[in-house]
Chain A
Amino acid sequence: MGAYLARRVLVLVPLLFGVTAITFALLVLAPGNPVDFLISPEERGFTDVSVLRHQLGLDRPLPVQYVSMMAELTTGRLRSFSDRRPTIQLVGEALPTTLILTATSLAATVALAIPIAVVSAVRPYSGIDHAATLFSLLGISLPTFWLALGLIYIFTERLGVLPASGLRPVGSAGYAPAVIWPYLIMPTVVQALSILPVLVRYARSSLLDAFGQDYVRVARSKGLGERAVLVRHVGRNSLIPVLTVVALLLPFLLSGSVVVETIFALPGLGRLAVGAALARDYPTVLTTTTVAGVLVVLSNLGADLGYFYLDPRVRDG
């Protein structure tokens, strides 16, 4: 067990380095002086730019610069231009919203995708299967932000049944499910629909694959009912790989959260990034991008752990 986990963690180290180095590369390659991107003019005061460059380590070799930027970022020395607080603190406040939305979206997607995939895989190339394929195609072609506006038009403007902005009523605080659930319905639907087609397609082919295996023929030939074959043999074997796809879909969900949080005015990481970008608040933008990349790496680790617990071949092998 230790060896497996150690190996997985080791594989993630270059990935972690890579995703953080991309943000750093943007900073280095962007036209202009990196100091302008990191220290706000107000905070700079009358300090000479060259002094600041030295303080930030920007006059040293690139590897040192990278390390010092990550240090500035994680220790909170990097401050937001617009509200002067450490960027890592702003990100910390935005994170729960994004994580909650991601969790509800993933749950909704899996809850919808598995039944659809099972129905299509049990009768491949039937009417239902073709309908599911067509629906998938429509789904991946639909601009999520446009769908979101459509939902707002129907459920907020016309029917007035769902709130269109924010995470909770004005004046309240916290993340109590009883308070925030109406605010999460539309964002969750939009996010879930954006990745549903991919998951359905993958789960369907994974199920079809399993249906063709010898153990299925054995199970059927010993007289097991189709339901038992599906639940006990096909389902358990084919849904483990689906976990990998869920982990691979996380970057898409986070990408989607940028748009969805902006439309529904949810105070999450994506909205923070867009607001900061429009306000030219560079330190905040750089921090959100780095944290979003780190989240993906951590979720990959999560998927590995899931594999470990679900698949006896990995667990005991």
Chain B
Amino acid sequence: MASQLAGPAAERGRGAVPRTRRRGARHRFVRNPRAIAGAAIMAAFVVVAIAAPTLAPFQPDAPHLRAILHPPAWPYLLGTDNLGRDILSRVLVASRVSLAIGVLSMLVSIVLGILVGACAGFSAGAVDAVLMRVTDVVLAVPVFFLAVAFLALFGPSVPGLIWIIGLTAWPPTARLVRAEFLSLRGRDFVTAARATGASGGRIVVRHLLPNVVAVIVISATLRVGLAILTEAGLSFLGLGVQPPQPSWGNIIADGREYLATAWWVSLFPGLCVFLAVMGFNLVGDGLRDAFDPRLQV
């Protein structure tokens, strides 16, 4: 699965994906309607998150006491909750914390995954064996149990969420990077680089990493979606983003008691989680299909 990615440039000893291949991948991505739909959803959420305070018709935590559990109708387009807060405004503002946690925890997990995967795949042997056992351990622990324990002991906070989601999500990336490295390290261009006296670090950074960029980008995109799901779940349980700060997960939790009479409170934030995660998943899948459908990301 790795060899297709290396391409002819690798044989020439430059260790970079040739321009034509990249252009081919871009072409395939643009021609894929699902990938474009995903990119549009992703872009829409990013724009909304940035512009949220301007777009929100009301203050997200302002109680409208005469409009408690108001059904979706003007001026409360998505209705109000049990405190009379405007759901649309809350959902808009909540997109910021959800996307921020998604992206930042993705960075934590991707950096860790690359570090572990690169060390394991490049050094092979005993280092590889030890690092892979550690990866197995992290993979074996049910994330929600660990996150619940972490948030109970350290107290729930946004940085805490970023760390715990990031620190539990790196093993798949590490495995992918390791597998790519293992298959690349014996290739001629690596031997050539070594023969010219390149250090291990230089070989990893200049020759090996450029060949796994596709895998990393695909993995990173999918990680953001997964992180948003995890954050929403933890916030729903009351262990994530704490009220009064709105997050999609805790708005859904707010609506839980009023499900029978005020379905709109839980429906719309859930729809946001669903759409945002789907956007990232569509883009991730589209990137995989564009670069190489056989990649097991």
Which residues in A have some Cβ–Cβ distance to B below 8 Å?
14-15, 18-19, 22-23, 26-27, 30-31, 37, 137-138, 140-146, 149-150, 152-153, 157, 248, 251-252, 254-256, 258-259, 262-263, 269-270, 273-274, 276-278, 280, 282, 285-286, 288-289, 292-293, 296-297, 300
Among B141, B154, B237, B239, point to the contact of A296 (Cβ < 8 A).
Answer: B141
> B232: shortest Cβ distance to chain A, in Å?
5
CB of B133 within 8 A of CB of A14, answer: yes
> Which residue of chain A lies nearest to B155 when distances are taken between CB atoms in the complex?
A31
Interchain pairs with CB closer than 8 A, number: 148
CB of B149 within 8 A of CB of A26, answer: yes
| Given contact pairs A15-B133, A18-B133, A146-B270, A293 touches B282 in the complex (Cβ within 8 A) | no
> A1: shortest Cβ distance to chain B, in Å?
24
130-177 of chain B: CB within 8 A of chain A? 133-134, 136-146, 148-154
Q: Collect the chain B residues with CB atoms within 8 Å of residue A140's CB.
A: 277, 281
CB of A30 within 8 A of CB of B277, answer: no
> Which residue of chain B lies nearest to A27 when distances are taken between CB atoms in the complex?
B153
**Complex Cα spacing A302 to B130, Å:** 24
Q: Collect the chain A residues with CB atoms within 8 Å of residue B145's CB.
A: 254-255, 258, 269-270, 273, 288-289, 292-293
CB of B142 within 8 A of CB of A254, answer: yes
> A278: shortest Cβ distance to chain B, in Å?
6
> Which residue of chain A lies nearest to B140 when distances are taken between CB atoms in the complex?
A296
202-256 of chain B: CB within 8 A of chain A? 225, 229, 232-233, 236-239, 249, 252, 255-256
**Complex Cα spacing A145 to B134, Å:** 30
Q: Collect the chain B residues with CB atoms within 8 Å of residue A277's CB.
A: 148-149, 151-152, 239
| Given contact pairs A278-B239, A296-B141, A149 touches B252 in the complex (Cβ within 8 A) | yes
Q: Collect the chain B residues with CB atoms within 8 Å of residue A286's CB.
A: 149
| Given contact pairs A31-B154, A149-B259, A273-B149, A19 touches B141 in the complex (Cβ within 8 A) | yes
Which residues in B have some Cβ–Cβ distance to A below 8 Å?
133-134, 136-146, 148-154, 225, 229, 232-233, 236-239, 249, 252, 255-256, 259-260, 263, 266, 270, 273-274, 277-278, 281-282, 285
**Complex Cα spacing A293 to B249, Å:** 26
Interface centre among B133, B148, B259 (most CB of A within 10 A): B148
> A253: shortest Cβ distance to chain B, in Å?
8
**Complex Cα spacing A46 to B142, Å:** 38
Among B153, B236, B282, point to the contact of A145 (Cβ < 8 A).
Answer: B236
CB of A292 within 8 A of CB of B141, answer: yes
Among B141, B153, B256, B278, point to the contact of A137 (Cβ < 8 A).
Answer: B278
Interface of B: prevailing SS: helix
CB of B252 within 8 A of CB of A280, answer: no
> Which residue of chain A lies nearest to B139 when distances are taken between CB atoms in the complex?
A251
CB of A153 within 8 A of CB of B259, answer: yes
> Which residue of chain A lies nearest to B281 when distances are taken between CB atoms in the complex?
A141
**Complex Cα spacing A149 to B143, Å:** 22
CB of A258 within 8 A of CB of B148, answer: yes
Among A19, A146, A157, A270, point to the contact of B252 (Cβ < 8 A).
Answer: A146
**Complex Cα spacing A300 to B285, Å:** 29
CB of B153 within 8 A of CB of A293, answer: no
**Complex Cα spacing A300 to B137, Å:** 12
Q: Collect the chain B residues with CB atoms within 8 Å of residue A274's CB.
A: 148, 237-239
> B41: shortest Cβ distance to chain A, in Å?
10
Q: Collect the chain B residues with CB atoms within 8 Å of residue A255's CB.
A: 142-145
Q: Collect the chain B residues with CB atoms within 8 Å of residue A259's CB.
A: 144, 233, 236-237
Pull 17 A–B residue pairs with CB atoms less than 8 Å apart, ordered by A: A22-B141, A22-B146, A23-B149, A26-B149, A143-B273, A146-B266, A146-B274, A149-B266, A251-B142, A259-B144, A276-B152, A280-B152, A282-B153, A289-B141, A293-B141, A293-B145, A296-B140
| Given contact pairs A14-B133, A141-B225, A251 touches B141 in the complex (Cβ within 8 A) | yes
Interface centre among B152, B154, B274 (most CB of A within 10 A): B152
CB of B259 within 8 A of CB of A285, answer: no
Q: Collect the chain A residues with CB atoms within 8 Å of residue B154's CB.
A: 30-31
> Which residue of chain A lies nearest to B136 when distances are taken between CB atoms in the complex?
A15
